[in-house]
Structure 1
Amino acid sequence: MSIFLAAVYYLRKLLQFADMPCNNLADRLKKARMLTGMSQVELANKVGISCSVLNEVEAGYRDKILRPTLLKLLTVLDKDILCDDYYLFVLEQEERLKLLVEKYGLRKLARLIGVDISSLDRWKKGDYQISRRYFERILELKLL
């Protein structure tokens, strides 16, 4: 299939699912998956995650995925559909937090967002994923 035909096919699919809501992770994941034309089982097998995790996220039982799972999903799914601002931040968490620490200092930034210095340092190193709550606090304070 030529690149042109593939693009036309994708645009057709995009229009077909244009009215689907994207209000939460479950909606975005389902829409992104449906655009690929894959079932949950096919997607889970292709990216190497369990079908039950995928099903629980799409059903809304899980409202969070961890970065390694997100990265696996993004090997197949459209980043612009799957990722909201929080998940885009998670993808660049180390770099973004490093810049904030350089600007405010570790202690001051930790105090501003209301978290332990050790937690902030672990997020900056990528050892742990920042929670949506603290990401929203960063946005609320207009630190980005």
Structure 2
Amino acid sequence: MVFQIATNWKFLQYADMPCNNLAQRLKKARMLTGMSQVELAKKVGISRSVLNEVEAGYRNKILRPTLLKLLTVLDKDILCDDYYCFVLEQEQKLKPLVEKYGLRNLARMIGVDVSSLEHWKRGDYQISRRYYDKIVELKLL
């Protein structure tokens, strides 16, 4: 019961924190755990400087491997916006689009090289927000 009260208090304490960008979402998700940047970095196996740079807004993206590490501790619903949710499942999300439109046609539609689209579809590389936004803009999802 005491843990539940503490958890609810912590949530209420940080509930009004803005979540408009990655920096704000990461900070809020971390603060809800009660961990410092150093503690979180050690727990998930990334450098504290990366966490600091993201929270300070100096880095405006994180790569999927780092995101997966963070999600072992942090709340996905807070940390991930639509783009990062897409990144987590990009192979599964891109496969039906390629089947529907064809690889070359889809690449042309979103303005990317076929080889880049192939890499995204295989999960070799992370799709950039720019091309994710283009997919959303074209209402392909």
TM-score range, shorter chain: over 0.9
Query: Could you tell me how far apart the structure 2 residues matched to 1:8 and 1:125 are?
Result: 45
1:9 deviation in Å?
3.2
Aligned to 2:48, which of 46, 51, 68? Answer: 51
| Counterpart residue number, 1:103 | 100
Aligned residues: 141
Q: In structure 2, do the counterparts of structure 1 residues 97 and 6 end up closer, same or farther at CA, with 3 Å as the change threshold?
A: farther
Q: 1:68 aligned to 59, 65, 68, which one?
A: 65
4+ aligned runs moved over 6 Å, structure 1: none
Establish whether residue 119 from structure 1 lines up as the match of residue 119 from structure 2.
no
Match of 2:29 among 20, 29, 32: 32
- Normalising to structure 1: TM-score of the pair? 0.95
Q: Residues 70-119 of structure 1, C-alpha deviation per residue, up to 9 Å, x if partnerless?
A: 00000000000000000000000000001110111101100100000000
Change (3 A) 1:117 1:12: same
Which blocks of at least 5 consecutive residues in structure 1 are unaligned?
none
How far 1:6 sits from its partner (Å)? 4.2
1:130 paired to 2:106 = no
Percent identity over the alignment? 79
Partner in structure 1 of residue 76 of structure 2: 79
Tell me the TM-score normalised to structure 2 length. Answer: 0.97
CA–CA distance in 2 between the matches of 1:93 and 1:36?
Answer: 27
Aligned residue number for residue 20 of structure 1 = 17
How far 1:10 sits from its partner (Å)?
A: 2.5
Unmatched segments (≥5 aa) in structure 2: none
